RNA sequence: GGCGGCGUACCCAAGUGGUAAGGGAGAGGUCUGCAAAACCUCGAUGCAGCGGUUCAAAUCCGCUCGCCGCCUCCA
């Protein structure tokens, strides 16, 4: 398995610290507002990576934190006129709601910054004792000049950064790049007691404390959005390695952004679409597929069209599964074996899917392979194979191969009926299933008496309300319906 | 200013040295009462442009053009 490591800027073969086990820390969200589709991407991508690791037999300890104390939370609380911890609770809940809909599994450990104040103070104290940090008026700053490795994650030099620093220089800092480990609180702000007076943790220190506690001094994977590389992850690395004297993280993984008109989607630009908005128009599986159809490090330009394409892809997929199910439901038939490439396609699919995922989690390629297999299955069924034991086994195996990959992608894993019902809901179809069935029956009668005008009128009527009809030649059902996507 | 990334057919998109996956749209065909779906066929002699390295380059190197990201909170 190869992983692109941000720190070395190259793909590396993945070897866990402890054979068979993987420690993985993902930077979650600051719970001060609802999540947008960019947050969804990050969550979905790392969810898939976790699932893939597990499918490869690794025992994964997956930690994802919530930042529940921060300037933005405090200002949000003022704006909403509620307490800061109510803000955190409210948006943590909303986060779970969105992520559960998207099929993102909860982490094994979901620590919160405020639950680790003791550990944070411990580390800050240690850094001060080691001379890696200094105290100024109740604030504690990390001294970047004392850590020779500063910049090694993001690939920048201290001198180059200082040249371009646009930040207002705090005269009390020894170096403009020094950052707060502990911030003294103003009256009325949330505060915890510390050796430096009442205050709260700086942004970066929580992740150092929580990863140390739950994954140890050195762990395998640390992941997050590419915008966290600097300064967040760079600073985490500096703190942690200064404190433990050991390597902090072995593989850094960062996902690319979602863009709107080529620009990064972000709260500050206001060009974002919330998860709730997107899920109001599209099925969660559709959204998941859309997010995974691009490699996780590449940008995704957000627009409806590619999501609609993902929807059509799933429609095609579930129609194929339906065909397989119909084939399997047929009574046993005798018949000579026909030449079929399907058997080979299924086994090569299993290999290629694994290869794609092994190569830096190339879900886009892996999904491409799924659709190659879908085509092969359709081709097989089009060849009208006899429903004998051998062919049934082959069809079952094809379904099984897809189900195996579905475990990793957490897509392609519903039944055609579930998909259709989901589409009725997503497309807000007014007609009920019995109504549709009744019109189909009426149309059947018209067709039997060769009243084509009547038959076509009914078909047109249903299409207007979003239902497409397909007349089948064989099988029990003469006409099937589906939702127009 | 520093550092980094991207530019592949009408659209989305994979592909880091061996002769361009996959999907959508389009054209023709098989099937159909007609459709739809599915399948078949067609579709970039070329991967922003120019030069170079190599038996071989979308893939490596150099330059140019265009777009974006990080350096400030940010998935």
Instruction: Estimate to the nearest angstrom the gap between the alpha carbon of A446 and the chain centroid.
Output: 49
Among the residue ranges A106-110, A165-169, A212-216, the one predicted with the least confidence is: A165-169
Q: Report how far residue A107's alpha carbon sits from residue A228's, in angstroms, rounded to the nearest whole number.
A: 20
B59 C1' to A360 CA distance, Å: 17
Q: What is the pLDDT of residue A246?
A: 97
Q: If you measure CA to C1', which residue is closest to nucleotide B5?
A: A298
Q: Which residues contact A201 (CB under 8 A, 6 or more apart)?
A: A69, A113, A117, A120, A124, A181, A182, A183, A209
Q: What digits encode the pLDDT tens for the residues A382-406?
A: 999 999 999 999 999 999 999 999 9
Q: Which nucleotide is nearest to A225 (CA to C1')?
A: B75
Closest nucleotide C1' to the C-alpha of A459: B35
The ipTM assigned to this model is 0.95
Q: How long is the CA A328 to C1' B56 vector, in angstroms?
A: 49
Strand B: which of residues 116-175 in chain A lie with Cβ below 7 A? 154-157, 160-161, 163-167
Give the nucleotide with minimal C1' distance to the Cα of A46: B75
Give the model's pLDDT for residue A456: 96
User: Which residues have a Cβ under 8 Å from the Cβ of A22 and sit 6 or more positions away?
Assistant: A16, A53, A58, A59, A60, A61, A220, A221
For chain A, list the domains and their CATH numbers: 2-255 (3.40.50.620), 304-415 (1.20.120.640), 423-483 (no CATH)
* pLDDT tens sequence across A213-249: 999 999 999 999 999 999 999 999 999 999 999 999 9
Of residues 7 to 46 in chain A, which lie within 7 A of strand B by their beta carbon? 9, 27, 29-30, 36, 38-39, 41-42
Give A467's pLDDT tier (boundaries 50, 70, 90): very high
Instruction: Give yes or no for CB of A454 within 7 Å of strand B.
Output: no
A280-320: per-residue pLDDT in tens? 999 999 999 999 999 999 999 999 999 999 999 999 999 99
CA of A288 to C1' of B30 (A): 35
User: Percentage of residues in chain A with pLDDT exceeding 90?
Assistant: 91
Q: What interhelical angle do A84-101 and A37-55 show, nearest 10?
A: 60
């Amino acid at each position: 398995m190869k992983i692109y490591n941000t720190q070395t800027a190259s793909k590396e073969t993945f070897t866990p610290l402890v054979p068979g086990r993987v420690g993985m820390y993902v930077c979650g969200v600051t719970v001060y507002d609802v999540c947008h589709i960019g947050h969804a991407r990050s969550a979905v991508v790392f969810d898939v990576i976790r699932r893939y690791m597990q499918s490869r037999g690794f025992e994964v300890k997956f930690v994802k934190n919530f930042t529940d104390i921060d300037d933005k939370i405090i200002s949000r609380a003022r704006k909403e006129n509620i307490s800061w911890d109510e803000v955190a609770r409210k948006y943590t809940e909303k986060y779970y709601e969105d992520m559960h809909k998207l099929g993102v599994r909860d982490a094994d450990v979901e620590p919160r910054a405020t639950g680790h104040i003791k550990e944070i103070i411990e580390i800050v104290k240690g850094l001060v004792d080691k001379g890696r940090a200094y105290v100024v008026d109740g604030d504690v700053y990390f001294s970047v000049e004392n850590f020779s490795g500063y910049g090694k994650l993001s690939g920048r030099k201290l001198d180059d950064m200082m040249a371009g620093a646009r930040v207002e220089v705090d005269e009390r800092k020894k170096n403009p790049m020094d950052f707060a480990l502990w911030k003294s609180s103003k009256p009325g702000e949330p505060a915890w007691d510390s050796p430096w007076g009442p205050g709260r943790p700086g942004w970066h220190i929580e992740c150092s404390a929580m990863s140390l506690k739950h994954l140890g001094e050195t762990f395998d994977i640390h992941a997050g959005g590419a915008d966290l590389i600097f300064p967040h992850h760079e600073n985490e690395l500096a703190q942690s390695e200064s404190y433990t004297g050991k390597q902090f993280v072995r593989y850094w993984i960062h996902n690319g952004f979602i863009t709107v008109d080529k620009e990064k989607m972000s709260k500050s630009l206001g060009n974002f679409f919330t998860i709730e908005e997107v899920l109001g128009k599209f099925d969660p599986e559709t959204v998941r597929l859309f997010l995974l159809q691009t490699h996780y490090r590449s940008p995704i330009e957000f627009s409806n069209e590619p999501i609609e394409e993902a929807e059509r892809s799933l429609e095609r997929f579930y129609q194929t599964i339906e065909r397989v199910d119909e084939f399997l439901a047929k009574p046993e038939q005798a018949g000579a074996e026909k030449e079929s490439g399907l058997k080979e396609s299924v086994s090569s699919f299993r290999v290629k899917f694994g290869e794609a995922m092994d190569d830096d989690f190339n879900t886009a390629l892996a999904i491409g392979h799924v659709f190659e297999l879908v085509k092969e299955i359709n081709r097989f069924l089009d060849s009208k194979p006899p429903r004998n034991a051998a062919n049934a086994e082959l069809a079952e195996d094809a379904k099984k191969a897809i189900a195996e990959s579905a475990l990793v992608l957490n897509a392609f894993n519903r039944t055609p009926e579930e998909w259709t019902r989901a589409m009725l809901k997503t497309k807000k179809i007014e007609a009920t299933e019995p109504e549709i069935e009744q019109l189909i029956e009426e149309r059947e009668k018209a067709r039997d008496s060769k009243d084509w005008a009547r038959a076509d009128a009914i078909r047109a009527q249903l299409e207007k309300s979003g239902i497409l009809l397909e007349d089948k030649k064989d099988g029990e059902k003469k006409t099937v319906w589906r939702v127009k996507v």
